[in-house]
Structure 1
Amino acid sequence: MSTITSVAEAFFEACETGGGWAACERYCAPEAGFSAQADALAGITTLRDYAEWMKGLLTVLPDGRYEVKSFATDEERRNVAAYGVFRGTHTGEGGPCPPTGKSTSTDYVYVMQFDGERIAHMTKIWNDARAVKELGWA
């Protein structure tokens, strides 16, 4: 297994289980960027802020969990794409409204771009509108 694949897998696990930046930073460049075409993530431009957003999301969706569907490494372009399904139910305090008790099952992809052995930028591809609707937040 390539080094960038193992780094990407470790980062994915740390981020998706709500470890926040403290658990993720060892895998990332200090100023790693973040982008997504998702309203729920508007204004988040660093991987640090995204990792903290995920940490917060898991307080709102305390049963939040993921299933990896695919992990693919493109050595030539120095990136790793991870496709997963996130599931969770809004039973925790926080979020845009009181707990709804509603659940989501939402597909997403992370594309992690590497500089050396660290993630320099990550793009999240996600249909946030569907997830927000399923959770009763829209």
Structure 2
Amino acid sequence: MSTITTVAKAFFDACETGGGWEACEQYCTPSASFSAQAEALSGIVTLQDYTNWMKGLLTFIPDGQYEVKSFATDGERQNVLAYGIFRGTHTGEGGPCPPTGKSTATDYVYAMEFDGEKISHMTKIWNDTHAIKEFGWA
């Protein structure tokens, strides 16, 4: 297994379990950037902010968990793609409204670009509208 695959898997787990930047920083360059074409993530432009957003999300979706469907490494282009399904129920306080008790199962992909052995940029590909509707937030 390549080094970037190992780093990507460790980062993915730390991020998806709500470790925040404290748990994810070691896998990223200091100025790692972030992008997504999802309204829920508008304004988030650093990987630090995204990992902390995920940490916050899991405070009001405490049963949030991921299922990895695929991990693919492109050594020539120095990137790793992770496809997963996030599942969770809005039962905790916080978030956009009081707890709805509604759940989602939402597909997403992380496209992680590397500079050496560290993630320098990540793009999240996600249909946030689908998840927001399932949670009953719209």
* 1:5 alignment counterpart: 5
User: What are the ranges of 5 or more consecutive residues in structure 1 without an aligned counterpart?
Assistant: none
Distance 2:22 2:111 in 1: 21
| Cα distance, 1:77 vs structure 2 | 0.4
Verify: 1:20 aligned to 2:20, yes or no.
yes
Separation (CA, whole Å) in 1 of partners of 2:87 and 2:65: 5
- Find the residue that maps to 2:95 and give its secondary structure: coil
TM-score (norm 1): 1.00
- Provide the rounded CA distance (Å) in 1 between the counterparts of 2:136 and 2:95: 11
Q: Distance in 2 between matches of 1:120 and 1:131?
A: 27
Report matched runs for 1:106-117 at 5 Å: 106-117=106-117
Q: TM-score, normalised by structure 2?
A: 1.00
Which segments of structure 1 move beyond 6 Å, counting only runs of 4 or more? none
Deviation at 1:116? 0.4
The residue correspondences of 1:72-91 to structure 2 (distance < 5 A) are 72-91=72-91
The residue number in structure 2 matching 1:45 is: 45
User: Matched residues in 2 for 1:130 and 1:63: separation?
Assistant: 19
**Cα distance in structure 1, aligned partners of 2:89 and 2:59:** 11
The question of 1:94 aligning with 2:94 is answered yes
Take 2:62 and 2:46, find their aligned partners in 1: how far apart are those partners?
24
Deviation of 1:44 after TM superposition, in Å, equals: 0.1
Q: C-alpha deviations, 1:44-88, integer Å up to 9, x for none? A: 000000000000000010000000000000000000000000000
Q: Structure 2: 5+ residue runs without aligned partners?
A: none
Partner SS, residue 83 of structure 2:
strand
The percent identity for this pair of structures is 78
Aligned amino acid, residue 10 of structure 1: A
RMSD across aligned C-alpha pairs, in angstroms? Answer: 0.2
Number of equivalent positions: 138
Q: How many angstroms apart in 1 are the aligned matches of 2:128 and 2:96?
A: 14
- Following superposition, the deviation at residue 135 of structure 1 comes to 0.1
Per-residue Cα deviation, 1:13-67 (whole angstroms, up to 9, x for no partner): 0000000000000000000000000000000000000000000000010000000
